Each structure stands twice: as C-alpha cells, then as structure tokens.
Structure 1
Amino acid sequence: MGFTLHYKYWSNWLVLGQLIDKPRMPTAIVTGASSGIGKALVRVLVSRGYLVFAGARRVDSMQDLKLLGAHVHSLDVTDQDSIDAFKEYVEKHLEGGKLDYLFNNAGVPCKIPGAELEIEDAIYCYNVNVFGVMRMVGTFTPLLIAAKGKIVNTGSVAGEVPMPFSSVYASSKAALHSYADTLRLELAPFGVKVITTKTATVRTGITDNRGIKDDSMYKIVEDGLQSLKENTENSNPQDPDEYAKDVVNIVTRNPKPFFYVGGGLWKVYVVGLLPRSMVDSFVMKISKLDQIPKRLAELKT
C-alpha cells in the first residue's frame, strides 16, 4: 500500500512537472498570405515551428500553406465582420489566448497620378494599407498583450522616396509609418513592441498594371513612365523567401522600431545622401516628365 501511494504521488508530480515545463508553441498571424511576401512569411514561420494563422480573401490560394501545417482562413482587412470571424477562428486554436506576432502584410499598390485619380481608388488604397492595419491592431491587441508580443508592419521605402504616380501609395505607407511610430509608444507600457519594415524591391509579381489613360495629360510621356516603372521594379529585387527569412531573423531578436530590408537598398541609401534637387532631376529625366513642355510645343507646331 505504501509503495502504491508513494508511486502515485511521484507519478502525479512527474505529470504535473511535464505540463508546467512544456513550452508553448510560438504563434503568429500573417495577413495578405495568399501570395508574395505574406505567403513567404508563412512558409518561413511554419518551418521554424510556429503555429501560424494565414489570412487572405482568396482562401483557395492558400491551400499549399495548409498542407505545410498553417491554419488558413478567409480574411478581408477592409471588413470588420471578416476580421471578427477570423479572430473567433484564431481563438479556437490558440494556446492560452496568447499571440506572439501580428504580421500586418496585406496591401495594394495603387499606382495612379495624384491629379487624375478616382477618389474611390485612393479610399480603397487607404482602407487596405492603413485602416486595415488599424482594424487588425484594434482587434488583436488583447491577445498580443497577453503574450507581450510584437506587431510587425510591412512598410515601404516608397513612404520616403517620391516617385511619379506613387503619391497615393507612398502617402498610405508614410501614414502607416507615422501611425506605427506613435503606436509603439502607446503599447510599450503593456510590453508590446511595434516594428515596421521599410521594404525595398521584392520579386512578388504583384504590380499595378492600370497604365496611363488615353485622355491623361501624361500620355505624351508614357514611354518614359514605363521606363521608370521597369527601372524601379528591376532594381535587384530580392526573392520573397529570402526577404521573409531576413524579416523573421530580425524581428525575433531585439529589433529597432524601423529597419530597411529588400533588394536594391544601396539606391535607397544613395538617395538619402543626395540633395533632393538632384534626386528630383534624375527622376524627372528617367520618367521624361521634364520633356512634357517640349513635346506639347512640338504638337502645336
């Protein structure tokens, strides 16, 4: 009898000890996970033992991630009801109600002339790139506080470097940078860190192909604008998986609130060193915007 009680006593403590010592699987949410950077982030996180919740509007495009072991669920960051449904799904599968990482990656390019845009296009761009992030942060902050987690936003060097036809997109990313810079102070007392990438070129295959409208005042230099677009997109773009590895390596350590990542970063550094007037002159020449007065005059003669 004594041996049996003694055995049960130590067996119970052994089981309890195993339960206490069992490490919790790190958790992450990735938005915009159906392609490009988002899909690459999910692949890298899953390969490193994370419990990953991948969200995007096109669930059918995430089935490969499901096969890898990620949880996939419909998510539209412009729709609070969709976000609430996503949260409900996450909470059902989350260990201890703790979320370690929220990767706000969903975004749209929205490359359109600032003076010729349809305001609905600009509103949609902000709805995804800015307000979508705000909705996700507002919804998942309690789970992040519980884990003393991190919010990782996919920003862009476009928010710092002016490029023709990027006024809406660039301003949305600049707004995201500013929002994140203040949010990090507001969440610091609760142990949540806010980190934002300033992403350069990445080979995602995602681009805005709307082009110049036939009645646009820029139609006369369409060749130059196409040249500028190709020059930007082909600026030594980084492979998405390599980009994702770099991002995960940095944010899982002790990262700064902002960091540069992606291909062609040397150009970003050079632009930061040069006088703005010199950068503007270079961009105007490549895009041929500086030739508009001359070409208009030629049309009149």
Structure 2
Amino acid sequence: MTSTETVLITGCSDGGIGSALAIIFQKRGFHVFATARNPSKMKSLDGLSNVTLLALDVVKSDDIKAAVEAVTKHTGGTLNYLVSNAGRNHFMPILDEDLDRVRDLFEINFYGPIALTQAFAPLLIKAKGMAVYITSISGYVHVPYMGTYAASKRSLEIVAETLRLELAPLGVDVLEVVTGAVKTLGQTYFGDLKLPAGSLYKSIEDTFVSRAQGNDQVPRMDTMEYGTAVVDSIMNRTTGRFWYGNNAEMVKMSTTATSVPQSAMDAGFAMGTGLDALAK
C-alpha cells in the first residue's frame, strides 16, 4: 500500500500522448500505472521509478479486471486519477466505410473508456479522485474523411459531460481534454492506406492518403509541451473542457464563442482535401 498519489493512464506506447503524460506525472512524484495493449512498446517508461507497466486492452474485460486488481493490490483500493487516453485514429470517406471497422473504432474510442470508468469507479470514489478523457477538436468540426473518428471522440465527450454531473455527488471530478494538433505517431498508422475498389473518391486517392499521413501543412505541438499543460490542468482539478494543442483555441472560438457562417466553415475544412478537384 502507498500514500503517494496514483494515476492510471491508458495508451502509453512510446511516442504518444500517454507516454508523455506518464513521464510528467512520474517526475512530479506520482506512482504511475502506465498501460498499453503491448507493454513491450513502452520502452521509454520501462525501469523508471514509481512506474508500473500493465498490459491493458480497453476492449477486453479480462484486461480491465486484471488492471483493477493490480492497482488495488498496490494501493489498497484507491486511485487518484484515471486518464482514458487510448484510442484509434481513423481516416475514410463515409461512403467507403466498412461498418465492422467502424464498430471496432467505437469499441476502442467510446465503449472502452466507459467500461474502464465503471471498473475503476469504486477506487476513484474512495480516493475522491478524478476521471480524465482525452478527446479531440475533430468532434467540433467536420473534416472530410474523419467523420466516424470525430463521432467516436465527440460521443465520448458527451458521456464525460454527463458523468461530471453524475459523479459530483460521489466526490469525483471529470475533465475532458479537447486536444488539438499534437506530434505523435498517429499518422504512421496509415502507411498502407488505400481507398476500396470502386470508391467514388478514387481519383483523389493520392491526396486522401497524403492527408491521412499528416501532410496537411498543420503545425503540431510538441508532445511534452502538451502533456505539461494537461498535467497542470489535472493537478489543479480543472473540470469540464480544457482545450489544448495547436488550433484548439481557434476551434473553440469558432464553434463555441462566435457564429461563423456554415459556408465559411465548409470551405475552410474542405480546402486541400481534393474535394474541390473531385467537383470539377
């Protein structure tokens, strides 16, 4: 059993947001339970003091149960912070979606964090802790080819907003980090991406693939800079939405604080996607 504050973070593979958060929390004296589907991909965390590496696939109930047991054994049944960061990036026109893949996407990005929250709720309640969800500015805009991904992240945020009210009487705070552009390995997932045969967008496939691979001219914030601000926000017990990452403030202002004409929004988000060429 430990008196040190504890945090469990999902999706801590090297080069990503979860790994950066784990390093920052560890440096600030927390005991970190860093998780990933494959622990061998957490090499940057292996061997750090006060870091426990756990195998955790958020769609596998046995993995979640084992993680709860591991944390309970270490802490005596409390957890101060639960950070749901694990997620899958996805890029595909709506008309070309394989619905089974969309269901898998929602299992990881939406149902998984809910299952994790349910499982760890008793530990968070005992600690008067905090549940944190890493969401995305994509849930507030309509970027071509990212519709189903954006839907999964926005859906999670709606659940988190409701949880904030439902967990408040139990002493647990809730924070959503609405994340802008951050440098991660997310774009490397699309090395072999292609459109299905017969796609109506086949003529602009090169542009489609290039954008999925991050060639969209969008500057991305350094992962450690992003992680430091997020950890600050968590430690300050910020609740509700915390917008951070490149373009996060712009999206916040254009979608929540001002009324930008729909035609202007559409033109901006379609620019450079190849859709203008398709129309011609």
TM-score (norm 2): 0.90
The amino acid that maps onto 1:87 is V
Shift of the 270–235 alpha-carbon distance from structure 1 to 2, 3 Å rule, reads farther
Residue number in structure 2 paired with 1:169: 149
**Aligned with residue 104 of structure 1, among 84, 95, 101:** 84
The amino acid that maps onto 2:175 is I
**Aligned with residue 237 of structure 1, among 220, 234, 251:** 220
1:85 aligns with 2:66: yes
Q: Which ranges in structure 1 are unaligned for 5 or more consecutive residues? A: 1-22, 295-301
Shift of the 230–107 alpha-carbon distance from structure 1 to 2, 3 Å rule, reads closer
Alpha-carbon offset, residue 66 of structure 1: 2.8
1:33 aligns with 2:4: no
Shift of the 233–220 alpha-carbon distance from structure 1 to 2, 3 Å rule, reads closer
More helix by share: 1
Distance, in Å, in 2 between the alignment partners of 1:232 and 1:258 is 28
**Aligned with residue 277 of structure 2, among 291, 298, 301:** 291
Residue number in structure 2 paired with 1:215: 198
The amino acid that maps onto 2:227 is A
Distance, in Å, in 1 between the alignment partners of 2:271 and 2:113 is 36
**Aligned with residue 278 of structure 1, among 248, 259, 264:** 264
Alpha-carbon offset, residue 266 of structure 1: 5.0
Distance, in Å, in 1 between the alignment partners of 2:67 and 2:269 is 43
1:123 aligns with 2:103: yes
Distance, in Å, in 2 between the alignment partners of 1:64 and 1:93 is 22
Once the two structures are overlaid, the 10-residue window that deviates more, 64-73 or 150-159, is 64-73
Residue number in structure 2 paired with 1:149: 129
Residue number in structure 2 paired with 1:134: 114
Distance, in Å, in 1 between the alignment partners of 2:163 and 2:249 is 29
Check conservation: 1:227, 1:287, Cα contact below 8 A. Answer: no
CA deviation profile, 1:11-63 (whole Å, cap 9, x unmatched): xxxxxxxxxxxx92110000011130011111000000001111111111124
The amino acid that maps onto 1:277 is S
Secondary structure of the 1:112 match is coil
Map 1:1-16 → 2, pairs under 5 A: none
Distance, in Å, in 2 between the alignment partners of 1:233 and 1:25 is 43
Distance, in Å, in 2 between the alignment partners of 1:232 and 1:154 is 23
Distance, in Å, in 2 between the alignment partners of 1:84 and 1:219 is 44
Alpha-carbon offset, residue 288 of structure 1: 2.7
Residue number in structure 2 paired with 1:15: none
Map 1:44-59 → 2, pairs under 5 A: 44-59=24-39
Secondary structure of the 2:97 match is coil
The amino acid that maps onto 1:283 is F
Alpha-carbon offset, residue 276 of structure 1: 1.8
Alpha-carbon offset, residue 268 of structure 1: 2.1
Distance, in Å, in 2 between the alignment partners of 1:155 and 1:98 is 25
Alpha-carbon offset, residue 233 of structure 1: 5.3
Alpha-carbon offset, residue 129 of structure 1: 0.4
Secondary structure of the 2:95 match is coil
Distance, in Å, in 1 between the alignment partners of 2:177 and 2:112 is 17
The amino acid that maps onto 2:230 is V
1:194 aligns with 2:177: no
Check conservation: 1:202, 1:243, Cα contact below 8 A. Answer: yes
Shift of the 58–151 alpha-carbon distance from structure 1 to 2, 3 Å rule, reads same
Identity %: 34
Residue number in structure 2 paired with 1:251: 234
Larger radius of gyration: 1
Alpha-carbon offset, residue 293 of structure 1: 3.7
CA deviation profile, 1:203-226 (whole Å, cap 9, x unmatched): 002124123334321111234435
Distance, in Å, in 2 between the alignment partners of 1:173 and 1:128 is 10
Check conservation: 1:110, 1:121, Cα contact below 8 A. Answer: no
Once the two structures are overlaid, the 10-residue window that deviates more, 211-220 or 85-94, is 211-220
